[in-house]
Chains A and B, each alone.
Chain A
């Protein structure tokens, strides 16, 4: 107990040090100081012994007494050693070295923990980056939470809009808003200076920027007098245009530019992060210069369409604003035709809701899914730590017996947790960046801001916060378990709390996996329904061509171009059909009207469902042949009808059954209404020439609208719009025929840009968003299940190893291998059953949230839940049987000999 053994140890260490001369400096400092302390304490003891001997004790007695007087030599040494100022840093370094050695010794553990953490952190960060802008990040307006979008909705336009005839009355009489403003949308325009470029011009009210809380980066906002009809031509330009066109020239203000051959003076530059509230791209912003008085006469007396935004007064909630606007809305409703008045509603909602639409729910779902994965990952790491703790119980007990304090042992565990968390965060960040690039590359076009998603500082901070939480979580869990001195003596003492904790963790993992799996399953079934539903047409082998015609080149009619192009395209090789249509199913923009506008000759107008929307398309007779839409009754259109003096139309089955229930519609006459200022029948009479099969026309997921088709007729050239599509039937790939098509079009109009797409590709893209959400959630569910299985396997393997001896005894006493299996498997079956039942229960309870994301699948679809249960059972069986099998192979002699 004197310092002597330490001298010996130090002498050996000293020789070794001299051989490793390079490291001598750093390593030797600590031992020399320690040796001096040993000497000092030894001297003290010697003096004490001498004193006792002088008092007449025998040498042995004196030594014993001196040690008694001294108290614990080791404690004194440790306590004195701690006084060093560098003790904390040294001991932390010591902990880190110790931990690193441990990690290297147990590579499988280290790699599993690192991968689990990296996956949890990486996936969370990547998904957070994607949904951050949708759910959390501020819009680029000051106090964006006080901004609302105000307007009318109707079944033909579910995104709120405004009408000039309403706006000024609302603006002058409203109370809930501190200001109300509008924008009139964006138009194509051309900068016709030296190098003409094509731009987007937006038209806004004078108080547009102040209401949104935006100040120009350079220059000023419009003046009130600049927003009057025939006011001075002024503009603000975007930062992008300022950079690309003017190289950020600070002298840009007051410069005149030529916009569509009109001189416009630049008065300001918009901030770099400027966005229009509806997110449409814009390069130049001009004052709307509205003629207020004219708004009650133009556009059938309801004024020009616009989009209104407002800032709430302090203390006014969105619901209160909606309530306060209701009387004003009812007052102005008189301008809406009586037949369709009921279809209109007031809408006031937050700017964020307006921008994000239905991306909200999908974003929350993904975030929830990835957070579930993170929880599983954390539970997995905690359970791995706990398993390792069990394996190290003896080691810990030895350290405790050698004088390591409880605090020191906890710190050691925490150090290990932190090291892994930080390493996991680093690997996780790399993984997050990779995943994010994958999301951007494969993500759907419709997901807002996906292309702009970046791992920024906030996301990194989020990641680090998660990893620290993880560290604290599993650090505390692992260090809660007291190292017991018993463990030193007893060879196989397993901590019961530890085992219970790990079982609970595995059950939780299985439960969360079950929730993830069933959500992913529901989405998968919904996606498969969406993709395999009948569209009512065949988009395969159809190529669509859209030509953007410049109105200035076609002052009278576009018909000439379309007829010439149709003839030219028919002559191309490999094209078996050419049709034209004013719009394309199954989604996309199309013309529409309401029941109130259809008058069946010889029938009174039905007041019921007068406001319901109807789709209308102008087509050529080949449209039905190219898209393989069946004509179920009547003859349909024939080529000669295009030049006939009579007007024909084809009804969809849905429309036919609603207009002519139980009757034969063929040959019946229909007139369309014009508004004047109520609906009266237009004298043109259309004859029903056929009934076509229903075609998906309101997107993949929505209910079909009733639809009718009219013919583009040669007798009425002015009726042709400049926005027709060509539909070409061909078995050749689009890439082959595209140059031929371009060459043909160029011969007719060399300047018009031509867009060529395949219709099946367009249809396919409609499924991109659900596919993306399904793929991601499926990936999460897979990761979650994998980790849960690792956790399960770990626990079973541990249980099996704990009971090796017992199994040996049982087998020695005559138990067969089959008798052994239930011993081990029962544990796994219990955890999986508990977790699975819990998880499926939670999934069923949460399923209502998914309702709006599902297509023709009940959120409680029994098939999915049964499938999840079976999958869990199978996987759990595998995870249980492998360790159980090795337990069954225990050699009884071997197991007993270990006693």
Chain B
């Protein structure tokens, strides 16, 4: 297993929102999906996944309902609310600006080292 990367503060919320934007999913699914898409780089600890899910739910960005999973076991499915969709857009925006800014700074640094 490749070493996992520590998540930046606040990015977990963004990842969860983005993952749920695709389709409603239970917690296990969210963890699995993030792990798969990130090619095993991002391993979400359950100690932070479920607190985050519940936090987002209390904020009204995601909602949950109990439904049958693929193997007929009852599971709690989370889905994005309209409010959550707006929040996702806003956070994505912010993330991009931040990433660009960091990239600019780092690019300059490389030049300096060279």
How far is it, in angstroms, between the C-alpha of A72 and the C-alpha of B51 when the chains are bound? Answer: 13
A71 at the interface (CB under 8 A from B): yes
How far is it, in angstroms, between the C-alpha of A70 and the C-alpha of B55 when the chains are bound? Answer: 19
A residues in contact with B76, CB < 8 Å: 36, 39-40, 43
A residues in contact with B53, CB < 8 Å: 80
Question: Given that A43-B75, A83-B58 are known contacts, is A71 also in contact with B47, CB under 8 Å in the complex?
Answer: yes
Would you give the shortest CB distance from B42 to chain A, in whole angstroms? 14
How far is it, in angstroms, between the C-alpha of A369 and the C-alpha of B75 when the chains are bound? Answer: 68
B110 at the interface (CB under 8 A from A): no
Within 8 A of A (CB), among B10-36: 26-28, 31
Would you give the shortest CB distance from B29 to chain A, in whole angstroms? 8
Tell whether, in the assembled complex, residue A76 and residue B26 are in contact, meaning their CB atoms are under 8 Å apart.
Answer: no
Tell whether, in the assembled complex, residue B58 and residue A43 are in contact, meaning their CB atoms are under 8 Å apart.
Answer: no
A residues in contact with B69, CB < 8 Å: 43
Tell whether, in the assembled complex, residue B50 and residue A41 are in contact, meaning their CB atoms are under 8 Å apart.
Answer: yes
Number of interface residues of B (CB under 8 A): 21
Interface, chain A (partner B; CB < 8 A): 36-37, 39-41, 43-44, 46-48, 50, 69-72, 75-76, 79-80, 82-85
How far is it, in angstroms, between the C-alpha of A79 and the C-alpha of B46 when the chains are bound? Answer: 10
Would you give the shortest CB distance from B35 to chain A, in whole angstroms? 11
A residues in contact with B51, CB < 8 Å: 76, 79-80, 82-83
- Besides A40-B27, A69-B46, A70-B46, 16 more A-B contacts (Cβ < 8 Å) are A37-B50, A43-B26, A43-B28, A43-B74, A43-B76, A44-B28, A46-B73, A71-B45, A72-B47, A75-B47, A79-B48, A82-B51, A83-B55, A84-B54, A84-B58, A85-B58
A residues in contact with B55, CB < 8 Å: 83
Would you give the shortest CB distance from A39 to chain B, in whole angstroms? 7
How far is it, in angstroms, between the C-alpha of A80 and the C-alpha of B52 when the chains are bound? Answer: 8
Tell whether, in the assembled complex, residue A48 and residue B28 are in contact, meaning their CB atoms are under 8 Å apart.
Answer: yes
Residue among B51, B58, B75 facing the most chain A CB atoms (10 A cut-off): B51
A residues in contact with B45, CB < 8 Å: 71
Within 8 A of A (CB), among B50-93: 50-51, 53-55, 58, 66, 69, 71, 73-76
Interface, chain B (partner A; CB < 8 A): 26-28, 31, 45-48, 50-51, 53-55, 58, 66, 69, 71, 73-76
How far is it, in angstroms, between the C-alpha of A47 and the C-alpha of B75 when the chains are bound? Answer: 11
Q: Which residue in A46, A47, A80 is a CB contact (below 8 Å) of B50?
A: A80
How far is it, in angstroms, between the C-alpha of A232 and the C-alpha of B97 when the chains are bound? Answer: 87
How far is it, in angstroms, between the C-alpha of A76 and the C-alpha of B47 when the chains are bound? Answer: 4
Tell whether, in the assembled complex, residue B54 and residue A83 are in contact, meaning their CB atoms are under 8 Å apart.
Answer: yes
Q: Which residue in B47, B48, B54, B73 is a CB contact (below 8 Å) of A43?
A: B73
Name 26 interchain pairs, CB-CB below 8 A, sorted by A.
A36-B76, A40-B26, A40-B50, A41-B46, A41-B50, A43-B26, A43-B69, A43-B73, A43-B74, A43-B76, A44-B28, A44-B46, A48-B28, A70-B46, A71-B46, A75-B47, A76-B51, A79-B47, A79-B48, A79-B51, A80-B51, A80-B53, A80-B54, A83-B54, A83-B55, A84-B54
How far is it, in angstroms, between the C-alpha of A717 and the C-alpha of B25 when the chains are bound? Answer: 118
Tell whether, in the assembled complex, residue B47 and residue A47 are in contact, meaning their CB atoms are under 8 Å apart.
Answer: no
A residues in contact with B26, CB < 8 Å: 40, 43-44
B residues in contact with A79, CB < 8 Å: 47-48, 50-51
